């Protein structure tokens, strides 16, 4: 019976059960002097039992078994611990010790969280039989009386990790319509800020009737979503143009999103360079080969872009590369130069300090913080001076054509990519076909299918 009741607890206890349970506390059968005393203590707690019931799970469970007379749901209040809760129900301190010291898990009864519910089951003599604490949706701590003390264990429900496909049509915004399609906020952020940030401006580009399909990892317990993980593949069709991204892990374990571009061509979704090393910073001085220098007060080419930012603002390297200079250099003050490949170099000047994590010769990934805004060298105020060089020639970082990585002739890569990506390409393809509204585009063309 206990088992049955215990199960029904997790299905949801009706207020009727708990109300009867608390009623039973007021008028216990087989009253003894001891239990009457006990009553005096427990009566004071009854309102909280009602309160608990109202908030607890809150749906009807079929009641097949008779109600356990001394069944209490105790809603945990601030600063409460078992040693302050037990006396309320006349449970002695030796019981407490038997539970908490039963084994390693017993000690975990020490971390009770406010507003969670502790289920206390007493026998007719008000002796604790079972204590249940539902820590979270997955884990439940259970202490059950046995011959010589308590058997304490953690019941963990199995997690179901799987892939899910969600699809939607834009009516107002990605956040609203994404949520409607079942996407979590975390998935929406990944799509907008991480995966498609180089291709789609979700504030400006999205139009009503644009479509999206997203395949992502999801972990659930008993069919209920617990959390979402990575985006595995996604496609946006914006004004008829398709943008796709498929997550791919290479042999070295690097994870990138790629977009199939027809037969045997795969493009990295992420651009090789960020447009700016500081997001949302105001440009205080543009690239200008005939500028009058504010400190030197004479015409001197300004071969970079200045970003006004508070001293200490993190500066991100705009592309993957290697630090080839890190130190003091005349008017630049503290400067970091990153070599990206043979062709490209970027320079970050006037730093207040460097990021100690990277040294001269360190490899850096795009977006890595190489230093912090300052006003070292020839600078009137705190700002970042950013230069971008193509084959040794200074280019305007705001207008220079930034490259994209395309993989064309690497058979090994393409074969491996195809193996990982094809199931997702097929799923996106199928999902899109099923809606029958989207004009089949690049990704979904027969050509691409062969990859
Ligand atoms: Zn400058």
194 alpha carbon – ligand 1 mean position (Å): 29
Highest mean pLDDT among 7-16, 44-53, 150-159: 150-159
Q: What distance separates the 2 farthest-apart alpha carbons in the chain?
A: 101
pLDDT at 274 (0 to 100): 86
CA 288 / ligand 1 centre spacing (Å): 10
Rounded Cα distance, 372 and 117, in Å: 48
* Residue 42 pLDDT greater than 80, yes or no: no
Q: How far is the CA of 360 from the centre of ligand 1 (A)?
A: 23
| Cα 279 to averaged position of ligand 1 atoms, centre (Å) | 17
CA atoms within 13 A on the CB side of 66: 4
State the pLDDT at residue 124. Answer: 83
CA distances from 135 to 2, 99, 408 (A): 20, 16, 52
Q: Are 449 and 421 in contact (CB under 8 A)?
A: no
Residue 298, judged by CB atoms within 10 A of its CB (0-12, 13-18, 19+), counts as exposed
pLDDT at 403: 84
pLDDT value for 430: 87
Ligand 1 centroid vs 302 CA: distance in angstroms? 6
Gap from CA of 349 to ligand 1 centroid (Å): 8
Q: What whole-number percentage of the chain has pLDDT above 90?
A: 59
Given this model, what pLDDT does residue 443 score? 40
Residues contacting 385, CB < 8 A, separation 6+:
304, 305, 306, 332, 347, 348, 349, 350, 379
Cα(386) to centroid(ligand 1), Å: 7
Whether residue 106 is predicted with pLDDT greater than 50 in this model: the reply is yes
Whole-Å CA distances, 246 to 56, 186, 214, 233, 404: 42, 17, 10, 4, 16
**DSSP label of 105:** G
Determine the distance separating the centroid of ligand 1 and the alpha carbon of 197, expressed in angstroms.
27
User: Residue 23: is its pLDDT beyond 70?
Assistant: no
Q: How far is the CA of 304 from the centre of ligand 1 (A)?
A: 6
Q: Is the model's pLDDT at 435 over the cut of 90?
A: no
- Give the whole-angstrom CA distance, residue 50 versus residue 442: 61
Cα(405) to ligand 1 centroid in Å equals: 29
| pLDDT (average), residues 267-292 | 87
The highest-confidence range among 66-70, 102-106, 334-338, by mean pLDDT, is 334-338
What Rg do the C-alpha atoms of the chain give, in angstroms? 32
Quote the pLDDT of residue 48. 31
Does this model's pTM top 0.95? My answer is no
Whether the pLDDT of residue 91 is over 70: the answer is: yes
Full set of structural domains in the chain with CATH: 2-156 (3.10.450.350), 158-271+404-451 (3.10.450.350), 282-395 (2.70.70.10)
Going from the Cα of 363 to the center of ligand 1, the distance in angstroms, rounded, reads 25
Q: Separation of 322 CA from ligand 1 center, angstroms? A: 22
Task: Note the pLDDT of residue 429.
Answer: 87
DSSP state of 18: H
pLDDT for residue 20: 33
Cα–Cα distance between 54 and 48 in angstroms, integer?
A: 10
Place of tokens 């180089």: 198
Choose among 173, 210, 217: nearest CA to 441.
210
Centroid of ligand 1 to alpha carbon of 200 (angstroms): 29
Beta carbons within 8 Å of 90's beta carbon, 6+ residues apart: 34, 37, 38, 41, 42, 126
- CA–centroid distance, residue 61 to ligand 1 (Å): 70
Give me 302's structure tokens.
């300004």
C-alpha distances (whole Å) from 412 to each of 251, 409, 417, 418, 424 are: 10, 9, 8, 10, 19
Closest CA to 443 of 229, 286, 260: 260
- The secondary structure of residue 292, as a DSSP letter, is B
Residue-wise pLDDT for 371-398, tens only, equals 999 999 999 899 999 999 999 999 999 8
CA of 270 to the centre of ligand 1 (A): 27
Task: Give the Å distance between the CA of 387 and the centre of ligand 1.
Answer: 8
Average pLDDT of the chain? 81
CA of 345 to the centre of ligand 1 (A): 16
CA separation (Å) from 18 to 75, 142, 229? 13, 20, 38
Distance 365 CA to ligand 1 centre (A): 24
pLDDT at 317 over 50: yes
Tell me, in angstroms, the distance from the centre of ligand 1 to residue 403's CA.
Answer: 24
pLDDT at position 445 over 60:
no
Distance, in Å, from the CA atom of 368 to the CA atom of 389, rounded to the nearest integer, reads 19
pLDDT band at 10 (very low <50, low <70, confident <90, very high): very low
* pLDDT recorded at residue 69: 62
Q: Is the dihedral of CA 212, 218, 221, 223 positive or negative?
A: positive
d(CA 196, CA 211): 14
Comparing 154-158, 262-266, 302-306, 353-357, the range with the smallest average pLDDT is 262-266
Confidence (pLDDT) at 293: 73
Lowest mean pLDDT among 69-73, 308-312, 320-324, 328-332: 69-73
Confidence tier at 121 by pLDDT (50, 70, 90): very high
pLDDT digits (tens, 9 = 90+) for 161-211: 999 999 999 999 999 999 999 999 999 999 998 899 888 888 778 899 999
Lowest mean pLDDT among 202-216, 308-322, 396-410: 396-410
Distance 355 CA to ligand 1 centre (A): 21
Range from 15-29, 148-162, 410-424 carrying the lowest mean pLDDT: 15-29
Ligand 1 mean position, distance from CA 12 (Å): 65
Q: State in Å: Cα 388 to ligand 1 middle.
A: 12
């Amino acid at each position: 019976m206990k088992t049955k009741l215990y199960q029904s607890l997790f299905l949801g206890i009706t207020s009727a059960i708990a109300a009867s349970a608390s009623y039973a506390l007021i008028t216990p059968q087989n009253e003894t002097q001891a239990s009457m005393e006990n009553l005096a203590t427990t009566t004071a707690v009854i309102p909280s039992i009602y309160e608990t019931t109202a908030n607890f799970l809150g749906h009807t469970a079929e009641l097949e078994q008779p109600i356990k007379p001394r069944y209490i749901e105790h809603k945990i209040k601030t600063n409460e611990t078992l040693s302050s809760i037990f006396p309320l129900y006349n449970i002695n301190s030796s019981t407490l010790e038997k539970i908490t010291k039963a084994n390693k898990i017993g000690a975990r009864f020490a971390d009770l969280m406010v507003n969670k519910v502790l289920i206390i089951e007493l026998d007719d003599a008000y002796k604790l039989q079972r204590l249940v604490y539902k820590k979270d949706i997955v884990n439940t701590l259970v202490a059950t009386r046995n011959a010589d003390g308590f058997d304490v264990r953690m019941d963990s429900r199995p997690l179901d990790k799987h892939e899910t496909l969600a699809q939607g049509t834009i009516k107002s915004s990605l956040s609203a319509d994404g949520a409607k399609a079942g996407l979590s906020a975390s998935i929406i952020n990944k799509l907008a800020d991480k995966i498609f940030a180089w291709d789609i401006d979700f504030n400006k580009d999205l139009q009503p009737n644009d479509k999206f399909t997203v395949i992502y990892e999801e972990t659930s317990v008993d069919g209920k979503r617990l959390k979402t993980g990575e985006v595995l593949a996604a496609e946006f069709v914006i004004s008829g143009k398709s943008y796709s991204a498929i997550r791919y892990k290479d042999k070295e374990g690097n994870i990138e999103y790629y977009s199939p571009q027809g037969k045997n061509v795969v493009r990295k979704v992420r651009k090789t360079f960020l447009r700016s090393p500081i997001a949302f910073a105001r440009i205080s001085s543009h690239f200008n080969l005939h500028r009058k220098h504010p400190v030197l007060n004479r015409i001197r080419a300004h071969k970079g872009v200045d970003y006004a930012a508070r001293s200490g603002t993190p500066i991100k390297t705009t592309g993957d590369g290697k630090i080839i200079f890190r130190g003091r250099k005349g008017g630049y003050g503290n400067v970091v130069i990153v070599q990206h490949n043979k062709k490209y170099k970027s320079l970050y000047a006037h730093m207040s300090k460097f990021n100690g994590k990277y040294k001269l010769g360190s490899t850096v990934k795009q977006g890595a913080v190489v230093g912090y805004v300052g006003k070292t060298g020839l600078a009137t105020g705190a700002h970042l001076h950013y230069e971008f060089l193509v084959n040794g020639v200074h280019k305007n970082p705001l207008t220079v054509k930034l490259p994209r990585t395309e993989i064309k002739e690497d058979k090994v890569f393409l074969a491996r990519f195809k193996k990982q990506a094809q199931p997702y390409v097929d799923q996106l393809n199928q999902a899109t076909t099923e809606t029958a509204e989207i004009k089949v585009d690049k990704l979904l063309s027969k050509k691409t299918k062969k990859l």
